[in-house]
Chain A
């Protein structure tokens, strides 16, 4: 009797503990290798050629899409009032914002190179966060973050950061 109960328990445990292990489940996120822009890179405001964007994406199964998000990144360590007031007082200028996604499905590996990010002339110079997100077909997500600087003058390299 005791043996039967034990066997039954053992059998049901074996079934339970293997019920969910689908070895084919893809849990590995895609790999983002962002070649350009680099950390701390200066991007020129109003550059007609657009931002030089160069990246490699790779997934073990299948890629899906990637997204670029660029937004003002100074508020975290500067006095909010000064940076915000400046944006409100300098007429015609505003914080540069960029959010766009691209489809890269049906492939496992892709080299991305484009100049589609245009920084308009009225963008406020300063530090920005440059984020790249990538999703694979299963929904695994990777993210990469860089700090970049927007400048009116390509040769301006002086930053207090």
Chain B
């Protein structure tokens, strides 16, 4: 409620302020075509001026493969995978790395939620999409800690040229979980002001899977009508983007609030018990256990241009509030039922403040210098009757310099250096109920003393250098890129100080306060060829980590009830190697063939096994017919067996999937109505996703799914006389 009030107050305030500004301002139009128009040529120029391999997903290709979920849609690009967490939510994976090893950046600010959790979704409105650039490779240089495997940059909305009112209604229906989503956008462009509002609602019912039972901990759990009970949920998102420009000055504000509530499949919570899976006769209710998350974000960006210099300054505030609810249960007799919110098991309340300053200096038309400073402060508060993650404060400051030099018309060199300094302070926590339990169970005093502490007071400082050096060589139809970089990541608070049973993981996870910051040396090379009918791209990478942080099974029994062996965050030497291939071929008239594939080989050098969640070899063949706005696409997606597993992970058999999609525009004056129909997993094939959080309970992936996406854009020019 508070956040909504703040949102309203801000909107009133900003509008009063902006209109005051516009009255004084002249009517200079703000045109930055190089940034706002996503066309082939701008994609090409992005490719030529970015030494890292970049995938660009435009709104058009996003629409074609949209599944109602951002990471799954991006996963159609080579080198990108999605980590599914049930209920239709997912997390993005770049070249086999996810969680705190990649960054999702919206309008220049890194999304900060509880992204360390493999079952926590990305809190961004999937309908609020204009385009995204996905950089594969070490991106710490520009984006700081965490962006070691890459960064997903979500671009702000396209500002129309003409003064106009604009609007859009998007409607999505999915059969798999009876999902119904609607998104309404309204905007205005008047002289130097542009403002856009969006509201999205998405409601979905229990998920349908092509099986009538799941086997969990050797017990067969029946499913009613193939539906996963209590996986229903809803999403409610609001967004405002406002930009105002005067001369060479521009200010942008982005406010968003994303709320998600989803039920957890009760069969996967704790000990399997088919009694909990009895049909409740309602496939839309959200019963216990469930999770809620609210992500509020406000970004204010200011830019000022001079002849050779531009300054970019950003301030941002984010609040991520996550709760996991499950009927109060405890293994400790002395623990009373909490008086307020008795069923609130876990709560994380994370506040993040950012300030970024970036200077671009154009020494000449071929030489550009970029320097910047990023400051971030976070504090995390906790609640609930269970303990998983401690309270902490974390502050980081980083400074970087990079240079881009066009040596010859065909050779471009870019590189730079960054230093980051960070501190993490973890609050101590002692569990008196656990202490009483251990006393009651007659444990030795020293064992009680050691185990009653849920988190130790930790105060750590980290400092790290990252760099990137890359070249782009271009000769007519050929483009070659090579990079060498070093990236780093501060250990997350969960890696330093977690101590408890993560409800979704059923295992005792313990942090290690002595971890060093994770460092990676990364090299990649990519080649692409493009002519009128064919474009081809191949890339390969090698990432080496001297101290990759992972959850190691210790072989020691946990002292906590309802836990097997202890898993402790440990460092290991590790590497990731792999590559991607991509081919687009207009082989005849309006017929197109697209193929893409990726593979990642992971290696934990200590254990001599793969790392957890290693993506299997995947290959997509796509045949399409396109004419004007009409397109028919049939896609074959082959996923190979994943037999390279980490300890206590199951092998996953491969699968062949078929998808079909039609899209066409219906000419309704003045704007066309866009229709997209698709059928995913046409043959209702039962399969598993090796990267799914629910893989370990043998929960299959969605069966046949019909999607209908309708988009009705409208725009009315305000002063038609001057325009066109």
Question: Are the CB atoms of A76 and B276 closer together than 8 Å?
Answer: yes
8 A Cβ contacts from A10-26 to B: 13, 16-17, 19-22, 25
**A147 on the interface (CB 8 Å rule)?**
yes
**B463 on the interface (CB 8 Å rule)?**
no
8 A Cβ contacts from A84-139 to B: 84, 87, 94-95, 97, 99, 101, 129, 131, 133, 135, 138-139
8 A Cβ contacts from B257-275 to A: 266, 269-273, 275
Question: Are the CB atoms of B645 and A27 closer together than 8 Å?
Answer: yes
**B554 on the interface (CB 8 Å rule)?**
yes
Question: Are the CB atoms of B565 and A20 closer together than 8 Å?
Answer: no
Question: Are the CB atoms of A20 and B609 closer together than 8 Å?
Answer: yes
**Shortest distance from the beta carbon of B26 to any chain A beta carbon, whole Å:** 57
**A140 on the interface (CB 8 Å rule)?**
yes
Question: Are the CB atoms of A139 and B553 closer together than 8 Å?
Answer: yes
Question: Are the CB atoms of B333 and A141 closer together than 8 Å?
Answer: no
Question: Are the CB atoms of A16 and B647 closer together than 8 Å?
Answer: no
Where chain A touches its partner, the secondary structure class is mixed
Question: Are the CB atoms of B648 and A141 closer together than 8 Å?
Answer: yes
CA distance A81 to B275 in the complex (A): 20
In the bound complex, residues from chain B placing their C-beta under 8 Å from that of A147 are 271, 273
In the bound complex, residues from chain A placing their C-beta under 8 Å from that of B437 are 97
B408-421 CB mask vs A (1 if < 8 Å, else 0) is 00000000000000
Known: A25-B607, A140-B647. A75 touches B329 (CB 8 A): yes
In the bound complex, residues from chain A placing their C-beta under 8 Å from that of B601 are 16-17, 20
Q: Which residue of B lies closest to A5 (CB)?
A: B525
Known: A20-B608, A140-B648, A145-B271. A133 touches B565 (CB 8 A): yes
**B562 on the interface (CB 8 Å rule)?**
yes
8 A Cβ contacts from A58-78 to B: 64-65, 67, 69, 71-73, 75-77
**B62 on the interface (CB 8 Å rule)?**
no
**B282 on the interface (CB 8 Å rule)?**
no
Known: A71-B562, A133-B557, A145-B219. A16 touches B542 (CB 8 A): yes
Q: State the interface size on chain A (CB cutoff 8 A).
A: 45
**Shortest distance from the beta carbon of A84 to any chain B beta carbon, whole Å:** 6
8 A Cβ contacts from B334-387 to A: 337, 342-343
Known: A17-B601, A69-B562, A75-B327. A99 touches B441 (CB 8 A): yes
A-B contact pairs, 17 of them (CB 8 A): A20-B601, A20-B602, A20-B609, A21-B608, A67-B564, A69-B563, A75-B328, A75-B330, A76-B270, A87-B333, A94-B333, A99-B441, A131-B271, A135-B565, A141-B648, A145-B217, A161-B275
Chain A interface residues toward B at CB < 8 A: 9, 13, 16-17, 19-22, 25, 27, 29, 32, 39, 64-65, 67, 69, 71-73, 75-77, 80-81, 84, 87, 94-95, 97, 99, 101, 129, 131, 133, 135, 138-141, 143-145, 147, 161
Q: A21-B644, A67-B557, A145-B272 are in contact. List 16 more A-B contacts (CB 8 A).
A: A20-B601, A20-B604, A20-B605, A27-B645, A64-B555, A73-B271, A76-B329, A77-B275, A97-B441, A99-B561, A129-B270, A135-B555, A135-B557, A139-B554, A139-B565, A143-B217
